[in-house]
Amino acid sequence: MGKELLRLKDRHGVDYCLGPTHEEAVTTLVAHQANLSYKQLPLLLYQITRKFRDEPKPRFGLLRGREFYMKDMYSFDVSEEAAYQTYESVCQAYTRLFARLGLRCVQVQADTGNIGGKLSHEFQLPADIGEDRLLVCGDCSFSANVETMSSDRTDCPQCKTGTLVESRGIEVGHTFYLGKKYSQVFNATFSNVQNKPSVAEMGCYGLGVTRILAAAIEVMSTEKGIRWPGLLAPYQVCVLP
């Protein structure tokens, strides 16, 4: 992760880092599980905990900070086909989540970045204050982060007829299909149908808990006051005697 990784030394001069995400830790945990069977897969492990990143420009309160809460999840599957099915089911779950919150969210193709893998999508709340530049087709469902495409492209690569319109968004979720990038390195295997060891196919998924709170206020509030999604509001009614 380069400079974004928060590093420190203890009193004995030993190097440590604060976790920006936990692919390595969770893959190691699964690798140490003896006699993991294909019958136990797909295996999805999640947590809601603090993450740390040395952001070069922390700003906009909870939207961009060096410490934040994230729901991160990691999936382990028996095959590439099964891993794609898990990936799609998680993306659908994220879409339903934002629909329940009443937040307009766009799933866009994204760069895999330093996490790596074969496939990646961001979940973006359209907002003028957003840091990400998005390209959205007016004729079909195609949308992508600008960083994944040629900057001067205006025609839709999916439907071929639509025009790509640029807008801005706030990233509130990210999904990755990792393949065997981490499981191969850490030897996260399971016993297949033939009772032989096989390397698991992985995916990882994250929701920015604190960023969703801040982004919801940003896109729903007015000059007259703060508005929350009903499911997130601290109270539904305030009685003023």
Q: Where are the domains of the chain?
A: 2-128+169-220
Other Cβ atoms within 10 Å of 37 Cβ, number: 12
- What tens digit of pLDDT does each residue of 30-58 get? 999 888 999 999 999 999 999 999 888 88
CATH of 2-128+169-220, one of 3.30.930.10, 3.40.50.300, 1.10.1040.10, 3.40.640.10: 3.30.930.10
pTM: 0.89
* Burial label, 183 (beta-carbon count in 10 A; 0-12, 13-18, 19+): buried
Task: Dig out the tokens for 79 from the structure.
Answer: 């095959």
Q: Residue 3: is its pLDDT beyond 70?
A: yes
- What tens digit of pLDDT does each residue of 109-141 get? 998 877 777 889 999 999 988 888 999 888 888
Q: Which residues pair with 66 in a beta bridge?
A: none
β-pair type (197-199, 143-145): unpaired
Residues in CB range of 123: below 8 A, 6 or more apart = 94, 95, 98, 105, 106, 107, 108, 171, 172, 173, 174, 175, 207
Q: Residue 59: is its pLDDT beyond 80?
A: no
